[in-house]
Amino acid sequence: MEEITKDEVFEVLSSSRRRLILYNLHRRGGKAVLRDLARDTAEAESDDDVDDDVVKRFYISLYQTHVPKLEEVGLVRYDSDTKTVSLTDRIEEVEAVLNAESEPERPWALYYGALAVVQLSGVAPPVTSVGFAAAVLLLATYQYYEKELKRREYHFLEQLVTE
């Protein structure tokens, strides 16, 4: 499959309902039964209690329009046998497109780690205690773990549905 284009991303995300679908799928671990997804979406869009008739209308809307559109660009997969919708790895491409215009983050964990290594190795004159340098190294290790090794959270999906 070709890389998703910026136009495709903005077209598919132009619908608040599709943004809610992606967000609710993420909240449910990347997979949901279509009826549950319809209920989640209906509840998110409504200030009132959601009855079965409302859920049915949302189900039809998701089934006929929104899920096929998301599937067309490869962001979800729909299994008609189990009636489940699943996020695909292409959601990472959406994140990349949305973040393309922002400045890349600095590798602060590497900076802190380098500072601690230099301090502990004695290459630079001691400015702080070994305990402080060890604490900076531990902090850098934890920051690196949180940012690079921990499972991706796709926080941008929540930003797409909040005002």
DSSP string, 9-72: HHHHTTSHHHHHHHHHHHHTTSEEEHHHHHHHHHHHH-SSPP-HHHHHHHHHHIIIIIHHHHHH
Q: Is the pTM of this model over 0.85?
A: no
Q: Which of 83-87, 134-138, 144-148, 152-156 has the highest mean pLDDT?
A: 83-87
Q: Label residue 84 by pLDDT band (50, 70, 90).
A: very high
95-108 pLDDT, tens digit per residue, is: 888 776 555 666 77
In a domain, 70, yes or no: yes
Question: What average pLDDT score do residues 33-55 get?
Answer: 93
Looking at per-residue pLDDT, the higher value among 26 and 160 belongs to 26
Number of domains in the chain: 2
CA distance 148 to 111: 15
9 neighbors 98 (Cβ within 8 angstroms): yes
In a domain, 154, yes or no: no
Question: What average pLDDT score do residues 41-68 get?
Answer: 93
- Distance from first CA to last CA of the chain, Å, rounded? 33
Domain region containing 48: 6-101
The answer to whether residues 89 and 19 belong to one domain is yes
CA distance 73 to 88: 10
The answer to whether residues 138 and 76 belong to one domain is no
In a domain, 157, yes or no: no
67 neighbors 21 (Cβ within 8 angstroms): yes
Which of 19, 13, 12 shows the shortest CA–CA distance to 37? 19
Question: What average pLDDT score do residues 40-69 get?
Answer: 94
Residue 143: partners with Cβ closer than 8 Å, 6 or more residues away: 108, 109, 112
The answer to whether residues 78 and 114 belong to one domain is no
